[in-house]
Structure 1
């Protein structure tokens, strides 16, 4: 099932929405310290895969393991109750496309809310760690600001810091730059690249090909809900094994050349 260093194991996961099969028998693992970038055309099932990993969308078939413990199903083979699911989700940090910050809380309060309310950790300790995380993402001067006063890039950096505040074993990123203006994308990618260099365990759905090529330890390429190809970025981007991946990369290259990527 899982090796000693394997943080995530996805085994035969499938998901349908009515007649539409979104994921079909998806299997892969993520070792501790890996950055796996999930690529593929729109509608290939990338975001649904992330939502299945933390059971925001329960899969119809297959199993998901976090550090060897099954996600979503308890020891009796039954679907976990909300409390047990919440306990597992505290170990999986998720950064969404549209920030998902609490608008009524300041930046600092957004970071502190989960560790205090969910993990029941001491407030003074949580505050010190939250301030350190804000420094890490370059937002120390925004600690008392409400999200409505932040740019999109600043909101996403707060979202990353908030996920880190829970000290997760695994970080999931669902197209974290897709809602940003082009000039704000770089500031978020810099933070994510730093996390990759630190050896954080991450699964990142992204359309940022240059970032994936530089930061990923492995590429997972999805098409029509299936894993078509997987391998190191240096091979995937220069010598893809499948015709489908070659077509995808060619469209990316054409878009980049014309300024549309």
Structure 2
């Protein structure tokens, strides 16, 4: 589904991504772990082109995205929009439109970007709200929702575009601890249902229980990747052992 090859990204003199290569198979849940500043979120933002990579290649379902070896080939607005319609992104800080109801937040893009029929989109949005446990919040505005409810709306909004790939950028980090579980439960259901997901997270329990593959990043590089039972039970590198000792024992 997703193939990343030799991706680099710098900000000034700082190397944020240093030759990152990663694959995500269709139906897999891949969790990106690592300390703050390791490049996880930048990698995710390069995948959906919120950040422009410097070098490397990204393929989505075999189609090369806007990069050639030795530099970047800029994408036009039409190509960029088409790319992003194939991905759904759930952000750390929700990014809901405050002047729109929950339902309006979900149906806006499918109607105006994908040009789909309004009645069809509304019916699908109502089904999505039921799936994330928010049918009763259909007409509420974001200011009336808890953080966990806002994030579940964000997930429903991403799903409304029927994406091939779901990107999650630390979706629980802005939530109070007691609200994390309700968002994790929705993500587990998506994973079990066969959604393809690339998840930046600090939730070790979710990664251990749900991921098909765990990837540890540090200083802009992938230092270890593998199945959760191996990564958490028998890490191969000293850096992974240090990371687990600090973050799992905390």
TM-score between the two structures when normalised by the length of structure 2: 0.97
8 Å Cα contact 1:175/1:207 also seen in 2: yes
1:73 is displaced (CA, Å) by 4.6
- Residue of 91, 94, 97 corresponding to 2:92: 97
1:214-255, Cα deviation, whole Å (9 max, x unpaired):
010000110000010110000000000000000000001331
Partner of 2:5: 11
Change (3 A) 1:225 1:78: closer
Pairwise CA distance, 1:178: 0.1
Of residues 196, 210, 227, the one that matches 2:205 is 210
Q: Residues 10 and 29 of structure 1 are in contact (CA less than 8 Å); yes or no, is this contact kept in structure 2? A: yes
1:230 to 221, 225, 232: 225
CA distance in 2, matches of 1:222, 1:123: 42
Contact 1:55 1:71 (C-alpha < 8 Å) held by counterparts: no
Q: Tell me, what secondary structure is at the counterpart of 1:254?
A: coil
Question: Which of 110, 117, 128 is equivalent to 1:115?
Answer: 110
Contact 2:55 2:67 in 1 (8 A): no
Q: CA offsets, 1:165-184, max 9 Å, x none?
A: 00000000000000000000
Q: What pairs with 1:78-227 in structure 2 (closer than 5 Å)?
A: 78-227=73-222
State the Cα deviation string for residues 43-91 of structure 1 (Å, max 9, x = none).
10000000000111010010111111122359xx831111210111011
Q: Match of 2:249, SS? A: helix
5+ residue gaps, structure 2: none
Segments of 5+ residues of structure 1 without an aligned counterpart are: 1-6, 256-261
Structure 2 residue 29 is matched with structure 1 residue 26: no
CA contact (8 A) 1:58 1:72 kept: no
| 2:248 counterpart SS class | helix
Partner Cα separation in structure 2 for residue 221 and residue 61 of structure 1: 21
- For the residue of structure 2 that corresponds to 1:52, the secondary structure is helix
> Matched residues in 1 for 2:156 and 2:49: separation?
22
1: CA distance, partners of 2:42 / 2:183:
22
Match among 46, 53, 60 for residue 66 of structure 1:
60
1:242 aligns with 2:240: no
Pairwise CA distance, 1:192: 0.2
